[in-house]
Amino acid sequence: METLEHTFSISEAAERTGLTTHTLRYYERTGLMLTPVDRASSTHRRFTEQDITWVSFLTKLRATSMPIARIREYVELVREGDESTASRLELLLRHRITVVAQLADMQRSLTAIDVKIAIYEEKVAHA
């Protein structure tokens, strides 16, 4: 059952990815989709499950501050097929290092803020 692949309109895709339709079109036009999005009825976009999956992943890359341009590089590697696996791994590993650094940095900043909070709490408690 369910052998036919289900597809989604742009607004359904927006709903599923948490992006706006504007942003989805922007991502496509700026070269961030693995393949051009299918068009049903000549013009309207039909997003496949794979498109949605990819957009969800690219959202993770964005959420960790990978710049659009870097994501585009990654996409180009994916398009090259299997032979680029090692390059893709390398790109992601490099990105991973920056993410871990970001997390550590943010954690350190949070600690500093917590120190301040503690001081204020003390102050407020004595008033």
Task: Return residues touching DNA (CB under 7 A).
Answer: 9-12, 20-23, 25-26, 39-45, 62, 67-69
Q: Buried b vs exposed e over 32-66: b needs ≥16 C-beta within 10 Å?
A: bbbeebeeeeeeebbbbeebbebbeebeebbeeeb
Selected range binding its own copies among 4-12, 15-23, 34-42, 118-126, rule: CB under 8 A: 118-126
Q: Which amino acid is at 52?
A: I
Which burial class, exposed, middle or buried, applies to 13 when counting CB atoms under 10 A from its CB (0-12, 13-18, 19+)?
buried
CA distances from 20 to 12, 17, 27, 49 (A): 10, 8, 11, 17
When the beta carbons of 38 and 114 are compared against DNA, the nearer one is: 38
When the beta carbons of 40 and 118 are compared against DNA, the nearer one is: 40
According to the binding rule CB under 8 A, does residue 34 interact with its own copies?
no
Site for its own copies (CB under 8 A): how many residues? 34
Instruction: Sketch the per residue contact string, 44 through 83, with its own copies: x for CB under 8 A, - otherwise.
Output: -------------x--xx-xx-----------------x-
According to the binding rule CB under 8 A, does residue 127 interact with its own copies?
yes
